[in-house]
Amino acid sequence: MTPVTKKIGVLGAGQLGRMLAIAGYPLGQKFGFLGASHEEPSALLGHMYTEKDEASSLSELIAFSDVMTYESENTSVELVRKIAETTPVFPAEKSLYYSQHRGREKGMFDSLNIPCAPYQVVDSLESLTQAVDEIGLPAVLKTTTEGYDGKGQFVIKETTQIDQAWKEVGGRELILEGFVDFSRELSIVAVRNVDNQHVYYPLVQNVHHEGILRYTIAPARQISEEVQTQAEQYMKALLDELDHVGVLTLELFETVDGLVANEMAPRVHNSGHWTIEGALTSQFENHIRAITGLPLGDTSPRQEIAAMVNIIGETGPVKDVLTMPKAFLHLYDKAERAGRKLGHINLVADSEDELYQQINQLSAFLPKV
Amino acid sequence: MTPVTKKIGVLGAGQLGRMLAIAGYPLGQKFGFLGASHEEPSALLGHMYTEKDEASSLSELIAFSDVMTYESENTSVELVRKIAETTPVFPAEKSLYYSQHRGREKGMFDSLNIPCAPYQVVDSLESLTQAVDEIGLPAVLKTTTEGYDGKGQFVIKETTQIDQAWKEVGGRELILEGFVDFSRELSIVAVRNVDNQHVYYPLVQNVHHEGILRYTIAPARQISEEVQTQAEQYMKALLDELDHVGVLTLELFETVDGLVANEMAPRVHNSGHWTIEGALTSQFENHIRAITGLPLGDTSPRQEIAAMVNIIGETGPVKDVLTMPKAFLHLYDKAERAGRKLGHINLVADSEDELYQQINQLSAFLPKV
């Protein structure tokens, strides 16, 4: 055991746990995972506690762990509170509590003067109709909890669609969000450690297709210093308000009136995967540093420009990727399934031209538009 | 299982296996290790087959593996031959057979016209005395097999020391090597895959202290294109002669008459650890690509200059390392012990000055001279 060694327990055993472990072992850390089976992406990268007998698996993982973390913003707040009675868990329950409910999250944005779309929580056809009246159309109707990758959403363009929207995603608590006229989707990854050190990655540009992130350009082009600083100020406010420890990600819209917050995730994020080879310290390593009481690493890019291209649904011609000098393959060891994130490819380049040439070579991995 | 997934069995579970696994998982590979205990550096990074019942552990590892490799040039040739009857093992036995015996190794250098020190295999005080007479002094007396990190060596400076030298390291087959008057110790890492693709990393400069590598500068400074090409030609000759698959490392002396081969290792090498962050593809990833039938990755450095500083004996102030923006910590999860390699620190820099400033900051990890 070296002086920095900690045993880290991860709730979940998917690709995020896998990449946390790959980043954490070189720091001397050890990993354990709570997962559904020994086939999960993290299964070979540490002690695996399977959920066949969930209560005892969880107890064993807690007993193993010096500190714990989790993969999903849908992790139970009650569970995290319970674990925290005996074992440190980061991010703490407050980050989860706000992140996993779009209404609470937007309330926090408001209270911190972080611009976001007009919104209203609704729980009936009547309240939805009234909200549409106040917010205007188009607007997006979403579940307040648990939606991701565009699931559980309905874009209402005309009042005639209100009934249909309620039928399709309603019957539970929803949030109606006013439409934001944006030029680009951006995101920022920030990290705070137990000693209150804050670091920020540059804003990146994200391109989605059918609700799923397809690729990220990092840093986003043509971002002024003022806009980067603005994003960092929003993040600092959130990190401090939440007393957040670990990585926090904020998705933003770029509009003519400035940045508008969309949603946050209290975890390492797909739009931060470029940092593995693209930044001096990856988001994964910085999350591990943050939760284990280590100094945070430098977040500067290692090259002019980088990109991350997701591998979705089918593994595709990954051998061809290995012949590209500046491409880095990251597979998650998951079976193919429509819409599933199976891996990603990081790219580094000395110029935008060079980067887009590489992205063009990866057309097999990108949606046909 | 993705199309590129292979199960890789590693004979050994030390830091080399650990770093092979960390490099291999992103390619979708899975790992199993044969090791002495669950406390070894690779233990948490794959299926662990411990040697408590070595025969059955080995059988289980073979059954697990699509392809096998090993950490040490001292792996039994007979064992590798036996495994190869059922399961591919790379590098194959020929590479081992020549690498693990200094006499055979030098015979191969001779046959391929790769310059090396004059040498003679001796097995008695008489033959040693005769060899000293022919080769001259100073000369180094070494065991023909198994020595590493300067162990089992005796530098004979005067004929009066011959008796003492024989007493200290003799009583078995030895090799006497003529002294090479060198300006620098260099090494080159090369890789050949099953499809006969060859790639070469740049020559690096190594600084040893008491027989142990302390730091590497990569690429070595002031190496002409001709010298790099010469080194690559030597490596190509060796790779082809051995029908080698995987990483092969050659240690060389830089002399006024050109490069002189010292010894080779049929494996990833300490002097190649800089490639993890320093090159577009690390030696570990390229070894995995080579033995699993994948195209080899680009070996170009990612920055002007890089370095690797070994952490020897004591873990030292590694938290301070984490505050250095361009330093990358790699711990092996090994207990402290004098002379033991516990980890390394990679550095990247835009200039030699910047690099040496960083190395100076790491003085706690370097021998006091």
Contacts of A25 in chain B (CB under 8 A): 18, 22, 44-45, 333
Examine residue A225 and state whether it is found in any structural domain, yes or no: yes
What is the structure's pLDDT at B171? Answer: 81
Q: State the Cα–Cα distance between residues A149 and A211, nearest whole angstrom.
A: 5
pLDDT of residue B170: 83
The predicted model gives A155-168 an average pLDDT of 94
Peptide bond into A138 cis (omega under 30): yes
- Residue B95's pLDDT is 97
Q: How far is the C-alpha of B301 from the C-alpha of B279, rounded, in Å?
A: 4
Mean pLDDT, chain B, integer: 95
Q: What is the pLDDT of residues A71-104, one digit of tens each?
A: 999 999 999 999 999 999 999 999 999 999 999 9
Contact A3 B315 (CB under 8 A): yes
What is the pTM assigned to this prediction?
A: 0.96
Residue A141's φ and ψ, nearest 5 degrees, are -100, 125
pLDDT per position as a tens digit, A299-325:
999 999 999 999 999 999 999 999 999
Q: State residue B1's pLDDT score.
A: 45
Predicted local confidence at residue B2, as pLDDT? 52
Q: What tens digit of pLDDT does each residue of B173-231 get?
A: 999 999 999 999 999 999 999 999 999 999 999 999 988 999 999 999 999 999 999 99
For the ranges A53-57, A191-195, B220-224, B237-241, the lowest mean pLDDT is seen at A53-57
> Can you give the pLDDT at residue A1?
45
Domain around A19: 7-89
Give the pLDDT band of residue A149 (cuts 50, 70, 90): low
Percent of chain A past pLDDT 90, that is, above it, reads 92
User: Looking at the domain assignment, is residue B95 inside a domain?
Assistant: no
CA dihedral B33, B37, B42, B48 (to 10 degrees): 40
Contact by Cβ (8 Å): B33, B22: no
Does residue A164 sit in the same domain as residue A135? yes
Nearest to A307 by CA among A323, A325, A327: A327
Identify whether residues B164 and B234 lie together within a single domain.
no
Is B161 in the same domain as B194?
no
A318 and B3 in contact (C-beta within 8 Å)? yes
- Per-residue pLDDT at B146: 76
- What's B264's domain CATH number? 3.30.470.20
Q: What is the three-class DSSP state of B51?
A: helix
Q: What is the pLDDT of residue B145?
A: 87
**In this complex, how many residue pairs, one in chain A and one in chain B, have their CB atoms less than 8 Å apart?**
112
Choose the mutation target among B5, B44, B191, B286 for the interface with A, i.e. most A CBs under 10 Å. Answer: B44
- Give the pLDDT score at A237: 98
Residue B1 counted as domain residue: no
Instruction: State which of A48, A69, A89 marks the end of a domain.
Output: A89
Query: How confident is the prediction for chain A on average, in pLDDT?
Result: 95
Nearest Cα neighbor of B332 from B345, B322, B323, B341 is B341
What single letter denotes the amino acid at residue B270? N
What is the least distance, in Å, from the CA of B163 to any CA of chain A? 44
**B212-218 and B327-331 beta bridge pairing:** unpaired
Please, which residues have CB within 8 angstroms of residue A44's CB and are 6 or more apart in sequence?
B25, B30, B31, B45, B46, B47
CA B349 vs. chain centroid, Å, equals: 24
CA distance B31 to chain A (A): 8
Render pLDDT for B265-295 as a digit per residue (tens, 0 to 9).
Answer: 999 999 999 999 999 999 999 999 999 999 9
pLDDT in tens, A203-232: 999 999 988 999 999 999 999 999 999 999
pLDDT score at B272: 98
Q: How many CB atoms lie within 10 A of CB A326?
A: 21
Question: Are A348 and A237 in a shared domain?
Answer: yes
Q: Out of A40, A69, A89, pick the residue that ends a domain.
A: A89
Whether the CB of B274 is below 8 Å from some CB of chain A: the reply is no
B272 and B354, same domain (yes or no): yes
Tell me the percentage of chain B whose pLDDT exceeds 90.
92
Same domain, B173 and B192: no
Domain boundary among the residues B178, B203, B222 is at B178
Top residue of B1, B25, B354 to mutate, by most chain A CBs within 10 Å, is: B25
Dump pLDDT digits (tens) for B43-89.
Answer: 999 999 997 776 789 999 999 999 999 999 999 999 999 999 999 99
What is the DSSP code (8-state) at residue B294? P
Cβ partners under 8 Å of residue B331, min gap 6: A2, A4, A5, A26, A27, A28, B311, B315, B318, B342, B343
- Kindly state whether B194 is in contact with chain A, defined as any CB-CB distance less than 8 angstroms: no
**Of the candidate ranges A149-153, A273-277, B69-73, the one whose mean pLDDT is the lowest:** A149-153
The CATH number assigned to the domain holding A140 equals: 3.30.1490.20
**Is residue A165 located within the same domain as residue A216?**
no
Classify residue B51: in a domain, yes or no. Answer: yes
Contact B322 A1 (CB under 8 A): no
Chain B residues in contact with A287 by the CB 8 A cut-off are: none
- Structural domain contains residue B295: yes
Closest CA to A261 of A211, A308, A215, A203: A203
Q: Where are the alpha helices (DSSP H) in chain B?
A: 15-24, 54-64, 77-84, 93-99, 102-111, 125-135, 162-169, 225-242, 275-278, 283-291, 318-321, 352-361
**Which two structure tokens, joined as six digits, stand for B314?**
């004591």
Q: Tell me, what CATH number does A31's domain have?
A: 3.40.50.20
Sign of CA dihedral A50, A52, A58, A59: negative
CB contact under 8 A, B18 and A25: yes
Pairing of strands A174-178, A119-122: antiparallel
Q: B240 and B123 in one domain?
A: no
Name which of B262, B270, B354 is nearest B312 in CA terms. B270
pLDDT at B356: 97
Contact B115/A at CB under 8 A: no
**By the 8 A CB rule, do B56 and B46 touch?**
no
Shortest Cα distance from A65 to chain B (angstroms)?
14
Pull the structure tokens for residue B74.
Answer: 């001292």
Kindly give the interhelix angle for B162-169 and B125-135, rounded to the nearest 10 degrees: 130
Q: Is residue B140 part of a domain?
A: yes
A57: enclosing H helix or E strand: helix A54-64
Note whether A234 and A347 are same-domain residues: yes
Q: Do A280 and A225 share a structural domain?
A: yes
Query: Taking residues A168-191, what's their average pLDDT?
Result: 94
- pLDDT for residue B3: 63
Do B352 and B209 share a domain, yes or no?
yes
B98 in any annotated domain: no
Q: Would you say B81 is a known binding-site residue?
A: no
pLDDT of B150 above 90: no
Number of domains in chain A: 3
**CA of B289: which chain A residue's CA is closest?**
A322
Mean pLDDT (whole number) for A34-46: 95
Assign 3-state DSSP to chain A and report helix, strand, coil percentages, each to 5.
35, 30, 35
The pLDDT tens digits for A293-304 are: 999 999 999 999
Question: Residue A182 has what pLDDT?
Answer: 97
Tell me: cis bond preceding B301? Omega within 30 of 0 counts: no
Residue A339 lies in a domain: yes
Angle at B114 between CA B112 and CA B120, to 5 degrees: 95
Joined together, the tokens standing for residue B292 give 């699993």
| Cα angle for residues B13, A343, A251 (degrees, 5° grid) | 120
pLDDT of residue B368: 81
Q: Are residues B72 and B128 in the same domain?
A: no
Q: How far is A251 from chain B (nearest CA, A)?
A: 26
B151 is in an annotated binding site: yes
Residue B318 sits at the chain A interface (C-beta within 8 Å): yes
